[in-house]
Chain A
Amino acid sequence: MSIIIDHLTHEYETGTAMAVKAISDVSLQIPDGQFVGLIGHTGSGKSSLIQHLNGLLKPTSGTVYVGGEDIFDKDYDKKKLRSRVGLVFQYPEHQLFEADVFTDVCFGPKNLGLEQKEVELRAYDALKKVGLEDDAFYVSPFDLSGGQKRRVAIAGVLAMKPEVLILDEPTAGLDPAGREEILGLIAGMQKETGMTIILVSHSMEDVANYVDRIIVMNKGSVMLDGSPKEVFSHVEQLEEAGLAAPEACYIMRDLQKAGFDLPGDVTRIEEAADAILNVFGSGV
């Protein structure tokens, strides 16, 4: 499902001396099935932006079209929107509350007013999608590991069968293996279902490795927008905005300065390894 953000502005505490523009005049088009990385320093407006996409925040001006429909139109069915656009918050495992994993995942679809059988089918399907083992279905979510809990929380959103999935820093606080597990899962799902995915992240490596397109927010506006290779070629600009490029970019730049003839658009470690081996000739 496509998303069009049309001249969106959001101001907090409008009309007071404290008024702050969290988002100022942002226009973006995200076509159906795109895997987008959204980056920006703390307070750059990314969280405010994604909260508009499923109607949790109302714009001060401008609007958002999801699947061609204006979601802030007064006749628009907000309930439909919430099942269409799934939002996984930061630390979603803090929102687990049921006595066992399966019941927790059923909560969302149950609230959509579906039949019990359909609810359970969806919950089962979602838990399978996130790769949770069957024997973990009926344990308390609080007995699971951090990575497992987070997968259960994501399953809770998937069970609503959203067509757009937005994840706000899904890997924060996870160990490296947990991070890869979650990202691998999201990327796999994206390939399989063609879902539109927006991944908010503070890890430049994560976005470099997985997404098709990166949108960089700074001071409430879109600062850069393009493929990972394009965006990460603006190292200085990213640093000024409190961000960075993936380590692979910095390594390649250092090596270029040292006189190695290497391509300038490398963003991933595997690519860097290939490029360096290429310079040394494969016969080493």
Chain B
Amino acid sequence: MNIIDLKKVVYEYFRRDDEGNVTGITTAVDHVDLSVKPGDFIAILGHNGSGKSTLAKHLNAILYPSEGTVWVDGMDTTEEDKLMQIRQTTGMVFQNPDNQIIAQIVEEDVGFGPENLGVPTKKIWERVEESLKAVGMYEFRKKSPNRLSGGQKQRVSIAGVLAMHPKCIVLDEPTAMLDPAGRREVIRAARALNDVEKITVILITHYMEEVIYADHVYVMDHGSVKMEGSPREVFSRVDELSALHLTVPQVTLLADRLKKSGLPIKSGILTRDELTAELVRIKSGR
């Protein structure tokens, strides 16, 4: 069974003027079909306003579809009595860590979620410990979140979600506000959760480098899925992505330039190692 299943999902909202009169209808999500297998690492790309975040909010019943159906681990998100269970299945991490951290001490912040679920105290501490260890923040457990860097704060946010034992985590641009080291830390933590803990990860991002290890990439535009495939398939379509206001990883961009200038490089280069190997091959073949 798929952990997430979307069938012909449409989300519309009314635009209103100051007096509350409806001035138009915007279709933010437009007939999206999407299925995610347990344990997958999925990436969603798309320009600002393409509907990625709106779509993400359907995955733990923050928003409900206007048409179509969203199933989370087999549960229809419109079933009200399943709400707690759905929110526990899919956890969300947002862009700004400062909006997500509430406690004065790191370990208390991480314990907040399971406490609200009514987990017994002893179990809460176990969960806090394992979650903080999973994101590499255990040594900071007694610190004040205010004293942490952006990447560290964001990893605490992830631990907070992790402590609720979700099967799936949705990360909505978790690195947009971080410096290079912070971005690396967060992406490493997300990949570890996927590899080691076998948690399904759905990553929404504007950084193309972050998605090259994903199992499957969806590209959104105007509320619908315009491209999908493995990172290699998607990133070999450089010109199409550029038309959708996106780009490709820098290495892929360079390989594409070289190819267009006449070097016989194969398409879909994603890493520096691949590029080096390819250039060495071309050099020795001459």
A binds B: yes
Asked if A41 contacts B254 (CB within 8 A), the reply is no
Asked if A247 contacts B149 (CB within 8 A), the reply is no
A236-259 vs B: 1/0 string, CB under 8 Å?
000100111011101100110011
Q: Is B273 engaged at the interface, CB distance under 8 Å to the other chain?
A: yes
- Point out the residues of chain B lying under 8 angstroms from A248, CB to CB: 250, 254
Asked if A42 contacts B149 (CB within 8 A), the reply is yes
- Point out the residues of chain B lying under 8 angstroms from A172, CB to CB: 176-177
Q: Is B145 engaged at the interface, CB distance under 8 Å to the other chain?
A: no
Q: Is B46 engaged at the interface, CB distance under 8 Å to the other chain?
A: yes
Q: Is B279 engaged at the interface, CB distance under 8 Å to the other chain?
A: yes
B159-195 vs A: 1/0 string, CB under 8 Å?
0000000000000010011111111000000000000
- Point out the residues of chain B lying under 8 angstroms from A146, CB to CB: 48-49
A147 with B176: in contact, given A255-B279, A273-B254 (CB under 8 Å)? Answer: no
Q: Is B276 engaged at the interface, CB distance under 8 Å to the other chain?
A: yes
A177, A243, A260 — most chain B CB neighbours (10 Å)? A177
Stretch from B71-79, B122-130, B255-263 that touches the partner:
B255-263
Instruction: Please tell me the number of chain A residues within 8 Å of chain B, measured between CB atoms.
Output: 43
Q: How close is A175's CB to chain B, nearest CB, in angstroms? A: 4
- Point out the residues of chain B lying under 8 angstroms from A273, CB to CB: 254, 257-258, 261
- Point out the residues of chain A lying under 8 angstroms from B246, CB to CB: 175-177
Nearest residue (CB) in A for B185 is A242
- Point out the residues of chain B lying under 8 angstroms from A204, CB to CB: 180
B179: contacting residue among A205, A242, A259, CB under 8 A: A242
Q: Is B280 engaged at the interface, CB distance under 8 Å to the other chain?
A: yes
Q: Is A143 engaged at the interface, CB distance under 8 Å to the other chain?
A: yes
Q: How close is A239's CB to chain B, nearest CB, in angstroms? A: 8
Which residues 233-261 of B sit at the A interface, judged by CB distance below 8 A? 242, 245-247, 249-251, 253-254, 257-258, 261
Instruction: Report the bound CA distance from A43 to B98 in whole Å.
Output: 14
Bin the interface of chain B by size: 35 or more
Which residues 132-188 of A sit at the B interface, judged by CB distance below 8 A? 143, 145-147, 172-179
Asked if A272 contacts B254 (CB within 8 A), the reply is yes
Asked if B250 contacts A247 (CB within 8 A), the reply is yes
Q: How close is A170's CB to chain B, nearest CB, in angstroms? A: 13
Asked if B273 contacts A43 (CB within 8 A), the reply is no
Nearest residue (CB) in B for A178 is B48
Q: How close is B84's CB to chain A, nearest CB, in angstroms? A: 31
A243: contacting residue among B48, B95, B180, B249, CB under 8 A: B180
Asked if A176 contacts B247 (CB within 8 A), the reply is yes
A205 with B245: in contact, given A176-B206, A254-B272 (CB under 8 Å)? Answer: no
Q: Is B227 engaged at the interface, CB distance under 8 Å to the other chain?
A: no
A90, A99, A270, A273 — most chain B CB neighbours (10 Å)? A273
Q: Is B139 engaged at the interface, CB distance under 8 Å to the other chain?
A: no
Asked if A177 contacts B251 (CB within 8 A), the reply is no
Q: How close is A146's CB to chain B, nearest CB, in angstroms? A: 4
Asked if B179 contacts A254 (CB within 8 A), the reply is no
Q: Is A202 engaged at the interface, CB distance under 8 Å to the other chain?
A: yes
Asked if A175 contacts B151 (CB within 8 A), the reply is no
Asked if B48 contacts A147 (CB within 8 A), the reply is yes
Instruction: Report the bound CA distance from A280 to B276 in whole Å.
Output: 14
A258 with B279: in contact, given A243-B179, A277-B261 (CB under 8 Å)? Answer: yes
Q: How close is A243's CB to chain B, nearest CB, in angstroms? A: 5
Which residues 264-286 of B sit at the A interface, judged by CB distance below 8 A? 264, 272-273, 275-276, 279-280, 282-283
Lowest 6 A-B CB distances belong to which pairs?
A177-B245, A247-B250, A146-B48, A242-B181, A175-B47, A176-B247
Can you list 28 residue pairs at the A/B interface with Cβ under 8 Å? A42-B150, A99-B18, A145-B49, A146-B48, A173-B173, A174-B206, A175-B206, A176-B245, A177-B245, A177-B246, A178-B48, A204-B180, A242-B182, A243-B180, A247-B249, A247-B250, A254-B273, A254-B275, A254-B276, A255-B275, A255-B276, A258-B280, A269-B250, A269-B253, A273-B257, A277-B258, A277-B261, A280-B283
